Structure 1
Amino acid sequence: MTPGLPDPVRAALATTFRLDRVLRVEPVARPGRMAESARVWIRETDGTGRTVFAKWPSRHARIRRMARQSGAYQREVMFYRDLAGDCGPSVPRMHHASHDPGTDAFVLLLEDLGGARPGDDAHSTVTDVRRALRTVAGLHARWAAGVDGVPWLPDWHGPRVRRYARFELDRIARAAARGRLMQGHRLLPLLAELSEGLDEFFARAARGAGTVVHGDLHMDQVLLPASPDAVLVDWQLVQRGNAGLDVARLIVMGLPPEERRLHEAELLEVYRDSGGGSGLLDEYRAGIVWTAFMNTSYALSRGPETGTSALGEVLFGRVAAAAADHGLLNGQGVMR
């Protein structure tokens, strides 16, 4: 086994390419990832060299359990098998995708886009966010009429997500009572209201037209190559849902509050003009509420280090500011 490269990944390389040898493995370590990944340099039997982006399960049992509970590994593999082929340059090209339902083991081999500039929540520009919005608007428009033959694709407002949300909101409430969420304290009243009105929140969401959404779209999930298109990665939470889930996370987490306030209306217009549809504001506000929930749940699972750096400002400060600006911290956040 090449150091840092598990045998199943090497086996997938051997069955996908005319593999002579693996020349080099460069781990890709970015915060918050649910899986291990690496850029892999290989040589084929005819002497051709290429690089491949490889992805496989996390080394940490706790993260693997979380991935299995959410279906994250299976969802991403099935996304590349069933949906990615129609996305053009908006997602990496797939070389290999396999998943074992029994063990939840998986291997993804994707087009290497190591030459693209990675997005960065803490340091994104309005131009970066604008590029990502144009890309996701095109995908939302493509899928707005529905997708066929994808029984694995969950509904954001479906029973599985509702059960997960109820469990996590109860866990957040217990942690808050013990003083474990000081960094995100401004969001706690909004989350308490979400907990009380969860069924109505989801009922309102279910009335939206819906599309296929990334589910965790922020600038850390975006690559910015030289071409005009942004590339969206990490499709582990792909689901049917309202477009505002993606749009709110991208804008609110991608820009400091003062920049978001200056450009928010224009960015929403960019999304609409790029094919993303109209009537987005209510969905956008629902996306802010859900982002508050997702980020607090993530921080609680990851531990106190998430609130002691620039990451804490992205997760909590930016979201709380957006919630306040949209009147979601005044007792109307869920039913607005």
Structure 2
Amino acid sequence: MGRATFPRGPEGITTDWLTDAVGAPVSSFEVEQIGMGVGLLGRMLRVTLTGDGTTPSSIVMKLPTLDEGARRTIMKPMRFYEREVHFYQEAAHAVPVATPKVHFAEFDPATDDFVLVFEDCSDRRMADQIAGCSEADADTSIDAMVALHSHSWAALHASTYPWLPKYCDSPYPQAWGGMFKRGWPRAKEIFGARIPKQIRDFGDRYELIVQPYLDEITAEPVTFCHGDFRLDNFLFATKAEHAPVTIVDWPICFRGRGAYDLAYFISQSLTPEDRRANEERLIDRYLNGLTAHGIKYPRDQLMRDYKRTVAWCFLYPVAVVGTVEIKTERQLQLLQGMLDRSIAAIEDSAALEVLR
């Protein structure tokens, strides 16, 4: 579509555009910003609609972040916005996990602007990643991961979704490495004593692992990885008609080994205490789930991939702190929690030994 076909911000929303977007008459609307401190890469708006009996009472819109530095250094080179729009246009209906119904999805390659219009899922329960994941929610999340991964295990090719990358290919190693390099001095400044010497030494040489790790985690067999499989991106059922969990935020999806999502989720969404108590059980649940689908992921290979990914995930809080403007206390708490959990998981799993 042309550049004028969707609004670039709340000020550009009109009743005519909303009518076309949701496919039902809209006579008036009200806009509020939501999700402050939850998402780091975009803006979320809830739009309350007035229309007729076919008009939804509200919808949710996702728009680009106002942080131009983050757009320039993360979103555009990594093609995050373009990828998420493609996901909802081409893959959301095919993956065997629940995603929000999308009314409208469009991307402008000339400006890297986009808009997504979803059903309002506020009747689901959103957990709090800062507080940590309960055992029941962890089980539900692992089951959804098994469903996602088993659907396209060893059957996902470059031609399946041409927009779905392998992160070992240029420009992704350079972009990931560049984000860490920019963020590391700032992370040491902000987090200071939270980073023990062994981890600080690891951060100083982190750029050496980027290409080798990405080569290994994207070696066959690969599957459809969410890439940001964490608690803040899950909406849990509150009614019988809901799927057990609805998964949002797909801009980081890629072709890779399943251990990526598994290690990222367990190391980032559970408190260290809960992870230590449940880690082996959740890994077994994942492996048993794959086995039930006729998939063999040898445990020794899974654990190698898992531990290397635990170390890799140290990138996330570091890269975000160096490239995204932190505007709320919750964002800072989230990043501190991600850093602390990452360090604890690296130490507990001896992940640095596997890297050597």
Q: Does 1:327 align with 2:333?
A: no
Q: Find the counterpart in structure 1 of residue 250 from structure 2.
A: 235
Structure 1 residue identity aligned to 2:312: W
Alignment correspondent of 1:80: 88
In 2, distance between residues paired with 1:265 and 1:231?
A: 25
1:263 aligns with 2:278: yes
1:163 corresponds to which residue?
174
CA distance in 2: counterparts of 1:53 and 1:167, whole angstroms = 33
Shift of 1:207: 2.7
Contact 2:97 2:247 in 1 (8 A): no
Change beyond 3 A, Cα 1:58–1:50 = same
Determine if contact 1:213/1:242 at 8 Å carries over to the other structure: yes
Q: Deviations over 1:145-193 (max 9, x none)?
A: 11544211111222221111332343345547x7455155233333334
Normalised to the residue count of structure 2, the TM-score between the two structures is 0.83
Deviations 1:121-160 (A, max 9, x none): 1222121122111112101111221154421111122222
Distance 2:176 2:314 in 1: 12
5+ residue gaps, structure 2, are 1-6
Would you say how many aligned residue pairs link Structure 1 and Structure 2? 330
Aligned partners of 1:64 and 1:111: how far apart in 2? 26
For residue 18 of structure 1, the aligned residue among 17, 24, 29 is 24
Residue pairs, 1:91-106, within 5 angstroms: 91-106=99-114
SS across alignment from 2:27: strand
Amino acid at match of 2:223: T
Amino acid of the structure 1 residue aligned with 2:290: G
| 2:189 maps to 1:189 | no
Q: Which residue of 1 aligns with 2:44?
A: 37
Question: Counterpart of 2:75?
Answer: 67
CA deviations over 1:202-224 (Å, ceiling 9, x no partner):
33223341111111121011111
CA distance in 2: counterparts of 1:47 and 1:232, whole angstroms: 26
Q: 2:87 is matched by which residue type in structure 1?
A: F
Name the aligned partner's letter for residue 144 of structure 2: T
Deviation at 1:108, TM superposition (A): 0.7
Q: What's the counterpart of residue 216 of structure 2?
A: 204
Give CA deviations for 1:234-276 in whole Å, capped at 9, x if unaligned: 1111111222221112111111111111110111112223338
TM-score between both structures, scaled by the size of structure 1: 0.87
Instruction: Give per-residue Cα distances to partners, 1:61-82, cap 9 Å, x unaligned.
Output: 2233232222111111000011
Alignment match of 2:318 (pick from 289, 292, 296)? 296
Q: Are the aligned partners of 1:36 and 1:55 in contact in 2 as well (CA < 8 Å)?
A: yes
8 Å contact 1:306–1:312 — kept in the other structure? no
Q: Secondary structure at the match of 1:317?
A: helix
Which residue number in structure 2 is paired with residue 134 of structure 1? 143
2:260 to 222, 242, 245: 245
What displacement does 1:88 show? 5.0
CA distance in 2, matches of 1:295, 1:208: 28
Flag the 1:61–1:8 CA change in 2: closer, same or farther, 3 A: farther
Shift of 1:48: 4.2
1:23–1:260 CA distance, 2 compared to 1 (3 A): same
Other structure's SS at 2:268 match: helix
* CA shift in 2, pair 1:203/1:44, >3 Å: same
Q: Is this contact kept in 2: 1:327–1:333, CA < 8 A? A: yes
> Structure 2 CA distance, aligned partners of 1:19 and 1:194?
53
Instruction: Give the deviation of 1:11 after TM superposition.
Output: 5.3
Please tell me whether the aligned partners of residues 9 and 107 of structure 1 are also in contact (alpha carbons under 8 angstroms).
no
Residues 174/38 of structure 1: CA separation in 2 closer, same or farther (3 Å cut): closer
Distance 1:289 1:307 in 2: 24
CA contact (8 A) 1:190 1:333 kept: no
CA distance in 2, matches of 1:242, 1:136: 12
Distance 1:197 1:312 in 2: 22
Measured at CA, do residues 142 and 30 of structure 1 come closer, stay the same or move farther in structure 2, by a change above 3 Å?
farther
CA displacement 1:94-131 (0-9 Å, x = unmatched): 21111111011111111221111112212221211221
CA–CA distance in 2 between the matches of 1:294 and 1:97?
27
The range that moved more, 95-104 or 193-202, is 193-202
Equivalent-residue separation in structure 2 for 1:254 and 1:42 (angstroms): 34
Alignment partner of 2:337 out of 296, 314, 320: 314
1:33-62 deviation per Cα after TM superposition (whole angstroms, max 9, x unaligned): 311112222233556443212111223322
Q: Which moved more, 1:198-207 or 1:229-238?
A: 198-207
